[in-house]
Amino acid sequence: MDIAKFKLKLKEEQQKLEEQLSQIGRRNPSNPDDWEPQFNERNEQHSAQDEMADKFEDMEQTLALQDTYEKRLAAVRDAIGRIENGTYGKCNCGKDIPEERLEADPAASCMCGSHN
């Protein structure tokens, strides 16, 4: 298995996820692994009711997207850590993860489904 290839894929995905997160939020100053959403600030006092509903919908979508990106980023970082400590490509139960699975998802950590 070409570990260097998978590490490169994971590093590229990590960079892309961090770029996507930076477009909708910012790093938490007290925890650099955490991201905080940023919303467009408008004067709510002068907004129409429909505008307020749109703002809340946008906020919900941003939070959901941020959560998805953060979870994937954590999985990617975990996979990079497994490469660095020599356990990449192994399921938590000790079985090898097929290379085809890693090709489809380089951050895959489990083959049997009970750990992932």
The CATH number for 87's domain is: 1.20.120.910
The predicted-structure confidence for 24-64, as pLDDT tens digits, reads as follows 888 887 887 778 777 665 555 556 767 777 777 888 888 99
Indicate whether 34 belongs to any domain.
no
- Using CA atoms, how far residue 93 sits from 12, 63, 88, 96, 107, in Å, is 28, 33, 13, 9, 16
68 is in which domain, residue-wise? 1-16+62-116
CA distance 63 to 69: 10
Number of domains, the chain: 1
Indicate whether 92 belongs to any domain.
yes
Residue 97 tokens read as 């993860």
Indicate whether 52 belongs to any domain.
no
Q: Residue 99 has what pLDDT?
A: 94
| pTM recorded for the entire structure | 0.79
Residue 44 tokens read as 């709510």
Residue 50 tokens read as 């429909």
